[in-house]
Amino acid sequence: MEFFDIMNKACTNEGLFFDEEKYNKFIKYKDMIKEWNEKINLTAITEDEGIVKKHFIDSIKVFRFSPLKTAKRIIDVGTGAGFPGIPIKIMIPNVEVVLLDSLNKRVNFLNEVIRELELKGITAVHGRAEDYARESRFREKFDIVVSRAVANMAVLSELCIPFVEVNGQFIALKGPAVEEEIKEGSKAITTLGGKLQQIINVEVEGTDLKHNLVVVNKIKETPKIYPRKAGTASKKPIK
């Protein structure tokens, strides 16, 4: 129970219920990350404390945007090792979650985590956002889209906003310096049918990390030409 208190504090600060059952799922998840990380590249953070604070608690901070607690269907675009999608699922088991990643090895890992943690109503999908966002079963079918991917806001908006239903939200988990990034991504956000709603400052318990949640409202449908074919958003971002 080494990390129970700090995780419980982080959850309490976001108005979330935390217990030993949830804690045990996180610890099993942590151990699987460390085991699989020896075979495939999941994270550069390999110490127990780092995984708990910089991945788990950082992911839990997405609940600072309180409507997430009552979300019905969430997709995590570019989920990597499952952040923030799996922590979201552990914290609110009733939400339907899709984890999307372009690397099949990571999807195999995610499927193993889902099985080992006995998570229901969560699916790991292998593919590119540019392709899946054009499929009718995914396009504008999620009330909330989250992403902790490393792309800038102009690129990330094109990959994520097409998944959001009108009146839903796109939440980008970002580092401390987001103002310039948002400024450069403002044209993309508007073009794709979004409108910047707010920037929420968050702190990660037990660290000096200061992060931000960039919340974009979907106010109209995304034009059918978006997203463009794979790789185009990063080479020619909407400016």
Whichever domain contains 124, its CATH number is: 3.40.50.150
In 3D space, the residue among 194, 168, 159 whose CA is nearest the CA of residue 72 turns out to be: 168
Mean local confidence (pLDDT), 214-222: 98
User: What local confidence, expressed as pLDDT, does residue 149 receive?
Assistant: 84
Q: Structurally, how many domains does the chain consist of?
A: 1
Half-sphere exposure of 190 (CA within 13 A, CB side): 7
For the chain, what is the mean pLDDT?
A: 96
With beta carbons less than 8 A apart as the criterion, state whether 168 and 144 touch: yes
20 burial level (CB within 10 Å; 0-12, 13-18, 19+): exposed
At 214, give phi and psi (nearest 5°).
-95, 115
Q: Is-above-0.85 flag for pTM? A: yes
Q: Provide the residue range defining the domain that includes 25.
A: 4-235
User: What local confidence, expressed as pLDDT, does residue 176 receive?
Assistant: 86
Is residue 150 predicted with pLDDT exceeding 90? no
Q: 41-100 pLDDT, tens per residue? A: 999 999 999 999 999 999 999 999 999 999 999 999 999 999 999 999 999 999 999 999
Q: 176-207 pLDDT, tens per residue? A: 889 999 999 999 999 999 999 999 999 999 99
